[in-house]
Structure 1
Amino acid sequence: MKKAIIAMSGGVDSSVAALFMKQNGYECIGATMKLYDNEDIGISREKTCCSLDDIEDARAVARKLGMPYYVFNFKDEFEKKVIDNFIKTYEQGGTPNPCIECNRHLKFEKLMLRMQELKYDYVVTGHYADIEYKDGRYLLKKGKDITKDQSYVLYSLTQYQLAHTIFPLGKFSKDEIRKVAEENGFINARKRDSQDICFVPDGDYSKFIENYVGKKYPAGDFVDKNGNVLGKHSGIIRYTIGQRKGLNIALGHPVYVIDKDLKNNRVVLGSNDDLNSSELLAGDFNWIIEKPNGKIKCMAKTRYNMREVPCTACCDGDKVRVCFDSPVRAVTKGQAVVLYDGEYVLGGGTIE
């Protein structure tokens, strides 16, 4: 009998994933990753995934399914690989995506190591994505429910990880999953989806960073493209490329953050047209398909919720250069670019 560790967040998706695996005859254990103590990041015990309430919800579902259930302490790794990277990226002028780093370093690295130690065969998650084995290679595919598709945050999976991962929800819609949960009496059948960064549930990431590192980021100048001073900003980490709201500056016409000058602690403002980019360079790139020798025509996403756009991609040393057929708005350092061919993920990397 094949054995699987179910990564259980306390939400409906991972709970139904566990049910499907049990129904398919797998020997299963449920596991929740303990990533931080809420008091360490200055928030109350509820209002966030991985809270005590979520652990109790996951435990209740595991008990209902007759599965052993464990909480694995990965706090040190989460702090080093996710929180520290989150802060460093903002300090270096980028905008991080901590969910990608959590998937890469926690779910599909630390949890998979635990899978090996326990001599289990698979890690199972509630992601809306799919895996296909074709012509001697494992391929990552979009989930059936395009409104919930999470392939964008999974581009870093290696061939070994894809071979030992199962996404049971890939061929279902969210509504279908909630219906299954209700039919099986799961306590979390109508639990709302988590929309926030788990360790910044109020969305105020700059306050979190200042509290976490114990320092204030100094005010500086808003300037235009020519260096003319337009006003004062309240700390460079508070701004991201493409931002319009919250600038607290009135110039009689819309302005957006188009760049950040870290050396001089200045935030550069410009027009919407100034945000357009014709190409980007991505590092730390992971190819899911075999690494191409030349240029390839494909589609790209530079943010999770954007529509795909046509492009040409090619390797540039150990990096990948992506040239867009038409300019793309607000390409942002620190975010991911993910390449697609239809329903297949070709690969992805971090925008530099």
Structure 2
Amino acid sequence: MADDWQSEDKASPESMRKLKELLSHPDNQLCADCRAPHPKWASTNIGVFICIKCSGVHRSLGVDISRVISLTLDTWTDDQVELMLAVGGNDAANATYEAYAPHNSRPPSNASVQQRSDWIRRKYEDQEFLTPSLRIGSSVTMKHSRLSSIDSNSSETNTHSDDSSLNPKPPTSHSGKPKLTESNSNRQRPSRSSTMPPLDRINSGMVEFIGLLKIMVLKGRDLAVRDVLTSDPYVKAILGWQQVFDYDTFSADDIMGEAEVDVNPMVEAARMYEGVEIEVGRRQIGKWLATSDNALVRDSEIWLSNGRVTQEMSLKLQHVESGELDIALEWVPLTQ
């Protein structure tokens, strides 16, 4: 079930070899928009390699302008690789998109969120620096409040697979605690979906990408019975205005409980030990304590091993007569 949503047109080893070779070119070792070193993301329709901070702005443009995927976390297709090869890399793309850009107008790698957003929108959405004859009108209204969208390939969390990710710093008006909801449905097929924030609740300048959070559902125990004959429980993960879930388009869902998870202990521990390598085994670097105020069944330890920060936990489902859920988290910082 975990891989049903993924494209069957997975890139061939030869295509991935060509992509890796393209990435190795000197111009592609720096972000196309801010020159930050070692970009780990790409806009496949624009044909550029970008850093994770710039990738957040690209997502906010919408997939009609920029389709962002990870070089390390996502599954590529042959078509996506061919598009990147056809463009020829960052220098070739910038020769077009920055043809009329003022000298030294590109923001530095440590630019503010607003500086970065202004530059990228002027460059790709407003097309200010293109040769006038090459400019194409965008379906997105320019110079107005814009919707910050979630790319369905890179920024969602697949609650059934450890290959997915989430951009976990929502606008400050929303809770920093992801919520997991378990439901029962007579689903015909698994699907993935995400809610979009209304324009008056989200502004691109309010969004800061601090890393990726992978969520994997391990086990459910003593779950509430909702439909003995056709029960098909699933989990929905919510963080701020982002949510990803399997849903049923044919019948109503029966809620089987929910639980909130505080990711702050994990994020803070990861920041403290960023760059630290454990030669042998693993090291405990933090703990989230079980109390009467949270859903933990027992204390949850945070571990560092081979550069990976991980945490497993057992959660008692709330607002339901019974049920526990085991999940595993992995934090991926901006540097990866």
Using structure 2 for the length normalisation, give the TM-score: 0.25
Using structure 1 for the length normalisation, give the TM-score: 0.24
- Structure with the larger strand share: 1
